[in-house]
Structure formats: C-alpha cells, structure tokens
Structure 1
Amino acid sequence: MRLLIISDAWHPQVNGVVRTLTLVTDILRAQGDIIDIVGPDRFSSIPTPGYKEIRLALRPRKKLEEIAQSFMPCAVHIATEGPLGWAMRGICKRRGWPFTTAYHTKFPEYLHARTRIPMRWSWAVMRRFHQAGDATLAATQSLRDELTSRGFTKVQPWTRGVDLARFNVNARDPFEGLPRPIFLYAGRVAIEKNIAAFLSLDLPGTKVVVGDGPQRAALMARFPEAHFTGWRDNGALARSYAGADVFVFPSRTDTFGLVLLEALASGTPVAAYPVTGPLDVITDPRVGALDEDLRAACLRALECDRAACRAHAERYSWEACAAQFRGALSIIGAGR
C-alpha cells in the first residue's frame, strides 16, 4: 500500500504525535508498505507564536498537491489540524479522495489555556475539519465518548504502544545527591501540561522535571527548589523513569499520554488527575493513583507495586497499534 501521511507535527519536534507516527510507520514499512510523511520541513514556515519549536507551513497547498499527485497514494491520513492538515483536507475533497484523520490533541483546551478563546468555537472548527473525513481515530474510550458527545459521528479506536525493550526496570538513574522520594515529570514544558500544579505540591523528597519547552525558564524561576534536567533522550530518559519513585502526570488536556506507558514499563507508578488518558491507562490501583487532590495521588502512588506496573505496560504493543491504524485507513482506489 502507498500511504500518504500529512502532519503539521514532525521532526525535529519531540512529542507524542511524532513518536506515534514514527514508530507506527517504521513497523508498516518493515511489512512492505510505502509511506511518505509530509511535514512542515518541506515548506517555507514560521514559528508558532509563543512556541518556536513548532513550525507552521506557509501557503502549502500548491506544493502539497504536487507532492500528493506525484506520490499517487492508495490512502491518505491527516494527522493534525494545522495549515498542512487543512490544505490536504481541501485537496482530498476536491479530488474526491477519502481520507482518515486522528484526534491527537485537545486543541480547544490548549487554545483556551493560551488565549481564553471560548472552547465551543474551537470545537465547532474541529468538528468541521474531522467530519469531512471517513473516520476520526482516537486513542482511548473516554476520548471517543467525548468526541461523540460533541457531535463527531465517525470515531474509531486507535490505541497506543510502548517500547518495552527501551523502557525497562533494569537501568535506574540513582538521582545521586537528591533527597528521596523522587517525584518525576517528563515531557514538554508548556502551559497546557499544567506542570505548575505538580511543582506547587507540598511533597517529601525532590520534584524532578525532565524536558524542555517555552515555560521552562518561568518555572525554574518560580520553583527554584525543583530539579530541572533539560531534555533527555534514549537511555538517559529511560533511566530517569526507572529511577523515580513516582511519575506525576499533571496534564488535564492530553488525549492519551505516552509517557504514562513509558513510566509503567520502567516499573514506576503514576499519579495523575482522573481525566482522559490516565482514566484509560491507570485502570489497576496497583500501578497508580488518580485523584483530584494530586498530592494525595502522589503519596498513594508511593505504595504501588513496581512489578505490577511493568506487567500492566506489557499489555500494550506498537505492533498492535500499527495493525489497528492500517485497518482503519480508507482506500482511494485499486491498482495504486
């Protein structure tokens, strides 16, 4: 199959969308599919206001249509609702090509957190975007229920996975010199991740933040007692997960949270709010604690079973995620 994927989120960005697409397409290519992923790196672009790491393609439609025409896909998947996503949506509608979309990001909540734009306006835009496709793929049951309640009528499941070899219980960062217990956050350091809610908690030991982003400098100034490592990848990130006592996930706006699975695969229990993502992943009280009182969740998570955390993560695989994704694609026509 010749699959064309359009994503406004792509390398060198580091986020859940990029990781998911990278891992899934690696598996599908190994199985024989021919895949082209089109991101902002192929176009003139500008940085997103307040988030320079994310580039927005400028007037991409003409070049994007040339790429699509040259590639002649059997299926089209539009991963994001940015300039590239809207441009490809228009191309598909004009050509009569079916396509699928994915709901990776709670964009209305993110936009409201940054600009205070009413969420009902953004949700109307999101419905218009996604309803034009043949299916909207969503990672969790609670997210699918929410989308359905907001008028999305073509929602289908697309789960997530975790690299069980990379994230494991064996290599542990001792966090030498830092008082224990270690409460860890890892991911983008941005306002929508609600990291200040975690750093404001009265907890024993040390709060550690692994990652980078536009809010890092402000949080470092506001919470000088916290330990900020900057971005860590590969083995260093895995050791950070495994060396922590609790992984704290303060976000209320994620659609899944790949970091939850990465922490669990490393044997580290999770503390989070009872919202979309954590509600769907932390389904066993032995592997984490969910509570509107995040401090209480953190303290309860200290008593969780690290072996149970690893066993819970082993239920998820990227191979199953890739198979589910491929099965949901809409075929444009035979012989391509």
Structure 2
Amino acid sequence: MRLLIATDAWHPQVNGVVRSLEHMAAAGRQLGFETVFLTHQDFASVPLPGYPEIRLSYATKAKVARRWAGLNPTHVHIATEGTVGYATRRYCLAHGRPFTTSYHTRFPEYLAARAPVPESWSYAWLRRFHGASSGTMVSTPSLERDLSARGFTNLLRWTRGVDTELFRPQASDALAGLPRPIFLFVGRLAVEKNLGAFLDLSLPGTKVVVGDGPDRARLAGIDPNARFLGTQTGAELAAIYAAADVFVFPSLTDTFGIVLLEALASGLPVAAYPVTGPLDVVGGTGAGVLDADLRAAALAALEIPRERCREEALRYTWAESARQFYRNIEVAHASGPPRQRRDPRVATGTVEPVRPA
C-alpha cells in the first residue's frame, strides 16, 4: 500500500506537524505502508510574509494531477488546509478518491489575532474543507469535543509520541551559569504562542526561550534579562530541556503541543493554562500544574518530582501514534469515496484507542 501525505507544513519548518509526519512515514514501513509526500517542494512557491520559513505554493488541481501519475497512491491523507492540501482535496473530489484529513492548528484563532476576520467565518470554511473527507484526525479528547460542538463530523483520534531515547533526564551543563530556577519555553516566536504572558511574569531565576519567529524582536524587549537561544534541535535541544527546572507553556490555542511531551520525557514539570493540549497531556497526571495564574503554576511546578514527569511521558510512543494513524487511514478509506461512507465507526468518530495505554 502506498500512502500519499499532502502537506503545506514541511522543511525548513521546525514544528510539531513536520515532526509528526516524519515519524509516521518512518513507522509506516513496519505497518505495510510506503509513504510519499506532496509538499511545497513539488511546486513553485513564495515565502509567507512574516514567516519566511513557511512557503505558499502555486499548487492547483491540474498540477496535482501531473504529480499523481508518478506517485500512484492507494491511500491519501491531507495533513494541512493550505494550498497543497486544498489542491489535493479538489483532485480527490473530482476523481472520487477517498481521503482523510487532520486538524493540527487553530487557524481561526490565529487569523483573528492578526486580522479582523471573525472566527465563525474561518470555522465555516474549515468545516467545509474537512467535511468532504472520510475522517478527520484530532489529537486530543478536548479538541474533539470542541470541534464536534462546532459542527465537525467524522472525527478520529490520533495522539502523538515522543522520542524518549533522545529526550531524557541527564546531567547537562547546557544552561550552566544562569541563575536558578530556570523557566524554559520552546516553540515558534509568534503572536499565537502567547509568549508575552510568560515573559511578563515576575519569576525568580532565569527565563530561557528556545526558538525563532517573526515576533522575536518585540518579545526580546519585554524582559531584557530573558535569554533567547534561537532554534535548537536534536541533542542540543535535549540537553537544554534536561538542564531547566520548569517548562512554561503559555499558549492558549495549541491543539496538542509535542514540546510538552519532550519536556516531560526530559523530567521537566510543566506549567500551563488549563486549555486544550495541556489539559489532555498534563491534566490530572501530577506531572505539571495548570492554572489561570501562570506565575502560580510555574512556581508550584518547582515542587514536582522529575521522576513523575518522565513516567508520564513514557505513556506516549511514536509506535502507538503510528498504529492509530494507519488504522484510521485504513478504516476511513474502507468507507468509500467522500460522502459515500459506510463504516459506522467512522461516522460516529469512535475509532479507538483514545489515549495511550
């Protein structure tokens, strides 16, 4: 079987969507799938203003058709709602090909933070986009409930994983010399991450920010004592996690937050708001503190044993994530072309498991 994944999120972007898709492709071979990608690299593209690492592709249904013949997929998954995803969707609908989609990003909230576009308009467009699929994958129970209340249907669960060999408790001098305690953030430096809420906090010790993005200059001016380390990956990033004391996650709009798992796997307790993502990953686990008062959460998280954090992260593996992903693909595609679904498990969104065992 050959799975085509159409995605606008791809290298050189460094984010959870790209990492998740890379892991799915790697695991697919063991589950009987050969995975091929259709990305902005297959079309002419231009950088998105303010986000040069994000490419806007000149993808069309006709251009997808020309690529299709060489790829010859048996299954199709559309990972994003950008130009590549939209053109692939149009091709599939025109040719009666079933496809699945996934909901990674709260674009209505992101767009509303930048422009006077009502969230209801954006959600209406997203309902139409995903409504034509045989199933839409979501990462958490709270996101499923939220989207279901907004009229989305055929929702399937697909959790995420973490590399617990790379991200682990370890002796690290990556942040040596900084006053303790060290409060860490890792992610894109953009308005939707709500990073100002973290930098505005009056906290002891040092705030460390890892990542880059269009908001870096403004954010750097909020707290002159915060340390901005730029984009870090691999062993260097793992060493930074291990050297910190608390991971602070101020986002109000992330649908999951793979960085939460990376922090926990490194033995780093989490402080966050009680919203989608943190509620599902951290809520009720004892591995973090969720509070509308982010400062109180950050200080309280200092008391959490690092062993508890690691224990929780071990529940999430990329192998289990891939098992869910490919099972969803098979079940949804078995339902037939878009709008001709027959499998009640897809129609009711009851494909399991819900969470890792």
Q: Smaller-chain TM-score range? A: over 0.9
Map Cα deviations across residues 66-94 of structure 1 (whole Å, 9 max, x no partner): 11233221110000000011111110000
In the alignment, structure 1 segments of 5+ residues that lack a partner are none
Deviation at 1:279, TM superposition (A): 0.1
RMSD: 1.5
Contact 1:173 1:242 in 2 (8 A): no
Partner of 1:259: 259
Separation of aligned partners in 1, 2:222 and 2:267: 30
Deviation at 1:116, TM superposition (A): 3.0
Deviation at 1:192, TM superposition (A): 0.5
Separation of aligned partners in 1, 2:117 and 2:306: 42
Contact 1:210 1:229 in 2 (8 A): yes
Partner of 2:333: 331
Contact 1:287 1:304 in 2 (8 A): yes
Distance 1:332 1:35, change over 3 A: farther
Deviation at 1:284, TM superposition (A): 3.5
SS in structure 2 of the partner of residue 105 of structure 1: coil
Contact 1:159 1:324 in 2 (8 A): yes
Separation of aligned partners in 1, 2:322 and 2:266: 22
Separation of aligned partners in 2, 1:290 and 1:200: 18
Partner of 1:132: 132
Deviation at 1:98, TM superposition (A): 0.6
Deviation at 1:60, TM superposition (A): 3.3
Partner of 1:208: 208
Partner of 1:160: 160
TM-score normalized by structure 1? 0.96
- Identical aligned pairs, as a percentage? 55
Partner of 1:106: 106
Partner of 1:277: 277
Contact 2:283 2:290 in 1 (8 A): no
Separation of aligned partners in 2, 1:145 and 1:212: 32
Separation of aligned partners in 1, 2:93 and 2:179: 58
1:312 is the counterpart of 2:312: yes
Partner of 1:302: 302
Separation of aligned partners in 1, 2:29 and 2:116: 42
Deviation at 1:225, TM superposition (A): 1.2
Map Cα deviations across residues 217-251 of structure 1 (whole Å, 9 max, x no partner): 22113321110011111111001111110000000
Spell out structure 1 runs of 4+ moving beyond 3 A: 330-334
SS in structure 1 of the partner of residue 254 of structure 2: coil
SS in structure 2 of the partner of residue 185 of structure 1: strand
Partner of 2:322: 322
Q: Which moved more, 1:41-50 or 1:298-307?
A: 41-50
Deviation at 1:29, TM superposition (A): 2.5
Partner of 2:190: 190
Deviation at 1:42, TM superposition (A): 1.4
SS in structure 2 of the partner of residue 85 of structure 1: helix
TM-score normalized by structure 2? 0.91
Separation of aligned partners in 2, 1:212 and 1:172: 23
Contact 1:273 1:291 in 2 (8 A): yes
Separation of aligned partners in 1, 2:166 and 2:60: 37
